[in-house]
A and B are shown apart, each in its own frame.
Chain A
Amino acid sequence: MSQTPEANNRLKSAVNSIAVPPYLEARIRSQVRAQHPSHSWLFKLVPAAVASLLCLGIAISYNYGHLRLTKASKISYVWSVSNRLVSLMRPGLADHINCSVFRKYPKDAPAVEVLAQKLPAQYRELIPIVQREVPKDYRLLISHQCRWDGRRFIHLSLENDSHVLSLVITRRKDGESFQAEGLLPALVESDIPVYQSGVQRFAITAFETPDSIVYFVSDLPQAENTRMMQAMVPAVKDLLQRVEGKA
């Protein structure tokens, strides 16, 4: 049949006799209307957009790279801040910034008993001393031994919703003393001269024992920081005398 023109015409005629639903065209137009056609020029723009974003990312990274908290940038920041202080105030502030400001700790700190285990046994008594003298809303976040710039530290850190405090103790090196630095004490507590200093938002109060230097660092007002330190000087001094006597 479909080999001759006549036969082909019969077949075409039969197929074309199929009635097309009158609504089909309108339905298709309606569906097409609801869709947006793809634009070839948009597809061509994709590589250009990716390249632009890449360049933008590189430029931002390059320009704001100093904000990234790499180890080098942290060291740089610590030195840039602490260098404005007399040299013996620097270790306490540097350790506070390094451990309490830069580090990320979980919101729910471990139990005090767990934290206490991270301190050498002879220093664990520091925890109740500090907790007794700071307001109750401060929770203990850190109690550990740490190291910064060749010094070892005993470090306790506490925070509430607004402030971070640190009690930092380090061994005195030969010849180190606040008096030698030319600092005048802010006050004397239990026969111990207490010194204070501050830079940027940090307040530092410190005193020295025969073998140790004790720092209390926070972002509190200087007077409040010194008041808290003053309250814990007698107990801390007694503890250190015991520790240093045993040593």
Chain B
Amino acid sequence: MTTDRPPSIAGWSSDSSVAERFEAEAMPHLNDIFRTATRILGDRARAEDVAQEVYLQAWKSFHRFEAGTNCRAWLFKILFHCVNHHRRKWFRFPQLKETEEFLEANLTAVVPIPEHLTDQDILSALDRIPADFRSVILMVDVEEFAYKDASEILSIPIGTVMSRLSRGRKLLREQLADVAQSYGIGHAATQGQDS
């Protein structure tokens, strides 16, 4: 942290030992929480609101967090709880409309990985895949949670984590291939693959 970091919670709280633990165990994960919230919600302002809500809920229920367990996974679980709550509230939030069968049937063949895409291209592609698949990719591929942890965080069976990950990855590759094609990258390769 920089020197102009705001005073810690412990400095303000009457229960300094709890506040110190919260400061040490929860606060370092704020960036991950915010970035994941941004990618899940597709909106920075909402992501800020949700990140604040996550930390407030975490603080209020910090007595339920067992010392020595995975605080990061616990925070992500709260995050998805908040996101699901807001999904119901913000009905504009893009839902997973396609059934998994539909997606399975419409997935294209594996395409070569475009190499010259920017971070923004990758994020745009990620945002275009359905939220449920995106969540699994973020948990497993970006945050590197084990399948079991991702299953607990997202409150879905571990088999669903694995299938959504597989299909999400394929969808992401397809999106990236489309972007690459729009840049004139990988078109030939795709044609070659198809033939």
Interface residues of A (CB under 8 A from B): 1-4, 7-8, 10-18, 20-21, 24-33, 35-40, 43
Task: Select the residue from A27, A28, A35 with max chain B CB neighbours within 10 A.
Answer: A28
Given the complex of chains A and B, what is the CA–CA distance between A8 and B62 in angstroms? 32
Interface size, chain B (Cβ < 8 Å): 46
Chain B 1-29 interface 0/1 with A at a Cβ cutoff of 8 Å (1 = within): 00001111100111100110010000100
Partner among B5, B12, B172 whose Cβ is within 8 Å of the Cβ of A1: B172
Q: Are B30 and A11 in contact (CB under 8 A)?
A: no
Please, which residues of chain A bring their CB within 8 A of the CB of B35? 15-16, 18, 20
Q: Closest B residue to A12 by CB, please name it.
A: B142
Q: Are A25 and B30 in contact (CB under 8 A)?
A: yes
> Could you jot down 16 A-B contacts, CB within 8 Å?
A2-B172, A10-B122, A11-B141, A11-B142, A12-B141, A14-B120, A14-B122, A18-B38, A24-B30, A25-B30, A27-B52, A31-B56, A32-B9, A33-B12, A35-B56, A43-B63
B31 within 8 Å of A by Cβ? yes
Please, which residues of chain A bring their CB within 8 A of the CB of B120? 14
Q: Are B51 and A24 in contact (CB under 8 A)?
A: yes
Interface residues of B (CB under 8 A from A): 5-9, 12-15, 18-19, 22, 27, 30-31, 34-36, 38-39, 44, 48, 51-52, 55-56, 59-64, 113, 119-120, 122-123, 126, 137-138, 141-142, 169, 172-173, 176
CB contacts between A and B, total, < 8 Å: 109
Q: Are B55 and A40 in contact (CB under 8 A)?
A: no
Other than A24-B51, A40-B64, give 7 A-B pairs with Cβ distance below 8 A.
A8-B142, A11-B122, A11-B126, A14-B123, A30-B6, A32-B9, A37-B63
